[in-house]
Amino acid sequence: MGRSMTTGLFSRWRAPAAMRPAFCAALALSLIFCAGQAAAEPARQAPATAAEILLSFAPVVKKAQPAVVNVYASRTEKRPKNPLFDDPVFERFFGGGRPGSSTTRSLGSGVLVDRSGLVVTNYHVIDGMTDVKVALSDKREFDADIVLRDHRSDLAVLRIKGGGDFPFMELGDSDALEVGDIVLAIGDPFGVGQTVTQGIVSALARTQGGISDSAFFIQTDAAINPGNSGGGLIDMKARLIGINSAIFSQTGSSVGIGFAIPVNMVKIVVAAAKSGKPVQRPWLGASLQSVSVEIADSLGLDRPSGALVNEVTSDGPADKAGVKGGDLITAIDGQSVDDPESFGYRIATKPLGGTASLALIRDGKPLSVKLTLAPAAEIPVRDPVKLKGASPFAGATVVNLSPAVIEEMSLHGVSEGVVVSDIEDGSTAAAVNFQKGDVILSVNDVKVRTTRDLERAVSSRHEYWKLTIGRGGEVVTTMLGG
């Protein structure tokens, strides 16, 4: 019936002979256009085969899930003996208070990345912990050693004791991700058991989280909850593309804003663990700052983007490459740089020993320089000293300040002195509230240049202690009783 209606419609009028060729051509083009529209917008239809009905992420999950593990970490602390516990009257009225121990526990997830039993998880999952167990998806449990802790990336590497032949996950390429890609998150939220959630890549290169020093994250709306930390974010080929690390939430539960550490950073940390060495990153040898709207206007930029060079360290890689204060870094090896954090991530994922091309803007003109990819110098040597005696520093371990230490501990605004690298639990230094990263500049107005200077300065008792300390980029002088 539709055909006869169409025929009747066009038979009501006949074009004059002279117009017929043009009319036919127009009609043909019109029909071709309509056919193209129909092809571009296929009609919705129900699944026609059993295979279409069974479309699922299950094959991806089956391939990846065996490589995702649960991580159980703990630390046992002994309570000191109190003389009152020897009093039978005290024990009678306050039973159960005898010296013993308390245990702190942490729960997270991890990903097997090596057949021999190498597991990647978050640093914050095992931070301060001494005992670690790993549970596989098939319910097998193993003790594990902590091979490497890297607080700057919030990553840690474990190794299952005794080794074996374990399922592991292939590492993908986080630089190949695009916003909108489908991803799956696998982990153990709230300790309920291994769970899979699905979403998309919501954003790339998120650098405002402040979750770790190498802040550069994949954002996803795949549900991530407490306990998912250290679990895998995977692509549709069952490859690891990120380690789930944090969520933005006002309730503690997922609201669809989760963050994962890109797998290209994971590769650097895993390679260091396999080599048996700490993570070493290329050193720029310059301090950077973000570009504000005002700075962008003063530089003639159409938008606030890039990393502005503040100060260049003499004889550092940037200085040798010809970088100057006031230069704007816009890219490294062709990868755009939006802020200091994105530059930090990009250079941290470069291998040592080669060079990188820095794209700069200087005085409004673009230029390119070659940066040598070398680690920060260990000059002077660290020379660690654990301080004892009756000083406020008792129980603190200090090391000499060097470019390597400044880089490793993310210190700012200091170039000399000694820095607190560790503090013993329950020590005088802990009670005084010294913190890792505190830079000791002077004691009782005597300048401290080395760890041995500080050791001598605190070797005798004083009625008072006048201390000048650098913390968080600020310098503070305080007085403590002897």
Binding region for substrate: 124, 154, 227-229
Q: How far apart are CA 435 and CA 204, in angstroms?
A: 33
Question: E strand or H helix at 385, and its extent?
Answer: strand 385-386
| Closest among 393, 408, 389 to 442, alpha carbons compared | 393
For residues 84 and 90, the answer to whether their CB atoms sit within 8 Å is yes
For residues 136 and 195, the answer to whether their CB atoms sit within 8 Å is no
To the query of whether residue 462 is one of the catalytic residues in this protein, the response is no
Q: Which of 229, 245, 342, 402 is catalytic?
A: 229
* Beta strands 418-423 and 439-443, pairing class: antiparallel
Binding residues: 124, 154, 227-229
For residues 66 and 137, the answer to whether their CB atoms sit within 8 Å is yes
To the query of whether residue 154 is one of the catalytic residues in this protein, the response is yes
For residues 425 and 434, the answer to whether their CB atoms sit within 8 Å is no
Residue written as tokens 């009028």? 13
| Closest among 118, 217, 237 to 174, alpha carbons compared | 217
Q: Which of 106, 114, 153, 154 is catalytic?
A: 154
Q: How far apart are CA 378 and CA 304, in angstroms?
A: 35
To the query of whether residue 124 is one of the catalytic residues in this protein, the response is yes
* Beta strands 396-400 and 418-423, pairing class: antiparallel
DSSP class of residue 129 equals -
Q: How many residues does the chain have?
A: 482
Instruction: List helix spans (H) across 111-193.
Output: 123-126
Q: How far apart are CA 340 and CA 407, in angstroms?
A: 14
What DSSP letter does each residue of 65-108 carry, written as one string?
GGGEEEEEEEEEEEPPP-GGGG-HHHHHHSTT-SS-EEEEEEEE
Q: Which of 106, 109, 114, 124 is catalytic?
A: 124
Q: How far apart are CA 13 and CA 436, in angstroms?
A: 92
Return the active site residues: 124, 154, 229
